[in-house]
Amino acid sequence: MYGLTAADLEIQARARGFADELIPYEAEAEANDGRLSDELEKAHHERAIELGLHATNLPRSVGGQGCTTLQQVLVQEQVGRVTNALAWSMDTPPAWWVDVANDYQRERWLLPSARGEISECYAITEEGAGSDVAAIQATARRDGDDYVLDGEKWHVTSFEEASYVFFQAVLTTGEHAGQQALFVVDVDAPGVRVVRTPAYTHSIGHAHPIVAFEGVRVPASHLVGTEADGMSFVYEWFRFERLMVAARCLGATERLIDEATAFAKERIVDGSPLIERQLVQAMLADSLTELFGARSMTYETARSVDEGVDVKVLHARSSMVKLYASETAGRVADRAVQIFGGRGYMRENVAERIWREVRVERIWEGASEIQQLIIADQLAKRGRAALV
C-alpha cells in the first residue's frame, strides 16, 4: 500500500521497533513530569543513533542518514505513536544549514549535531511576535567584527538540553538595516539568561523557557548565511517541520485508534462490547477515515518534496497537511478519551496523554488559522489546479 519501496518499509519497521521500545517508559515519564533518569535518556539517545534514526534529514556528506523526505515522514510517523516526547531522543538537526554554514559553523556545531553529540534550539517567537514573525523586536547591531544581540524570546523549546540556539533578530545597522537575520549563539554565552520557565499542558522532559539576550556579543562568523537572507531559513524550517508535525500526528492518531478499538472490544456494557454500539462505531469509523485521508495526503506531499516540486506549491501543501493532520489528531484524541470514558481522563491512560499533547500541534509551527491563510493566499495566486 502507498507504493512504499523495500528501503521505505525497512526504515519504517526500524522506527516502529524503536517506538515500541520507548512505549513501556511512558507511564514512568508521566509520573515524573515527563522525565526519565539521565541514564535512560542517554541510553535511548544512543539506541536511536545505533538504529540509524538520528539525523535522518541530513545528507550523508555531513554524517546524516540521507533519507528521502518520504522516509523521514515514515520515521516521524512511527515515533509519533510515543507519548511524553520520549522520541525526542533522536534529533533532526537543521538540514537547511548544510548549504549555508560557514566552515566554522560546520565544524563547531553542524557536524557534532549530526553525530548526536550536541543539539540546537530555536529562539524566534517573542511576546509580541508569534504568528506575525515579521513583528520581531530583537535586534542585531554590527560593532566592528562582532554583532551585539538583544531581545527576549518566548517558548524556547529544549533550551536546557541544547548547546546552541538559533536567534532571529532585526538588523539595526548596515545596508540591510530593518531586515531580519539569523544568528547562532552558545546557550552559555555571556548575556544569555533564563527569565522564567512556565509550566505547559503536556508532561514532557523538555521545558520552553523565556530567554533574555542582553548585549550578547558574537563574532560575525555566527551570522547564518548573509545579512540579506532575512526570513528564508525560518520559512525553510517551517516547510520541513510542518510536514513532520503532520507525520507525528498520523502516528498519534493511529495509536489512538488502535487503543480505543482494543478497549471498545473488551469493555462490556449492558451485556455486549462497546464496539457493537453504533454511536461508538461512528466515532471509530470517522477516525479511521480521517487517518486514511491525512496519511495519504502527507505521503503524497513528502513525495512531491522528493520530486522537487515548486517551493511555493510545497509551502501550501505543507500547510494543508499540517492543518488537516493536526486537526484530525485533535478530533480523534477527543473521541478516544470519550470512548475510554472515566479511564480516558486518567493520566495513566494513553488517550489522555495524547489528548493533551496533540493540542499544541494546532498552535506551533504556525497555528491552524495561519495555515488557512497561507492555503487561501496560494489558492488565490496560483489557482486550485497548481496545488491539488
Ligand X SMILES: Cc1cc2nc3c(=O)[nH]c(=O)nc-3n(C[C@H](O)[C@H](O)[C@H](O)COP(=O)(O)OP(=O)(O)OC[C@H]3O[C@@H](n4cnc5c(N)ncnc54)[C@H](O)[C@@H]3O)c2cc1C
Cα-to-chain-centroid distance, residue 318: 13
Nearer to ligand X, 18 or 167 (CB): 167
Output helix, strand, coil percentages for the chain, rounded to the nearest 5: 55, 15, 30
In the complex, least distance from residue 273 CB atom to ligand X, rounded to whole angstroms: 38
In the complex with ligand X, which residue's Cβ is closer, 122 or 240? 122
| Least separation in angstroms between CB 331 and ligand X | 17
Backbone torsion region of residue 144, taken as left when φ is above 0, otherwise alpha when ψ lies between -120 and 50, otherwise beta: left
* Helices (runs of H) and strands (runs of E) counted in the chain: 12, 9
Q: Cβ closer to ligand X: 166 or 340?
A: 166
The CA distance from 23 to 82, in Å, is 6
- For ligand X, the closer CB: 82 or 291: 82
Distance CA 178, CA 172 (A): 6
Shortest Cβ 125–ligand X spacing (Å): 3
Rounded CA-CA distance 331/282 in Å is 13
At closest approach, how far in Å is the CB of 363 from ligand X? 5
Q: What does the CA dihedral 87, 207, 94, 41 come to, rounded to 10 degrees?
A: -40
Least Cβ distance, residue 365 to ligand X (angstroms): 6
Cell for 229?
Answer: 537572507
User: What does each C-alpha distance from 343 to 267, 329, 347 come to in angstroms?
Assistant: 11, 19, 9
Q: Output 18 or 164, the one with its CB closest to ligand X.
A: 164
Q: Which residue is nearest to ligand X (CB)?
A: 130
How many whole angstroms separate alpha carbon 73 and alpha carbon 380? 29
Cβ proximity to ligand X: between 208 and 248 the closer is 208
CB of 20 to ligand X, least distance (A): 26
Question: How far is it, in rounded angstroms, from Cα 243 to Cα 304?
Answer: 12
Q: Which residues bind ligand X (CB under 6 A)?
A: 121-125, 130-131, 155-157, 200, 208, 360, 363-364, 366-367, 369-370, 373
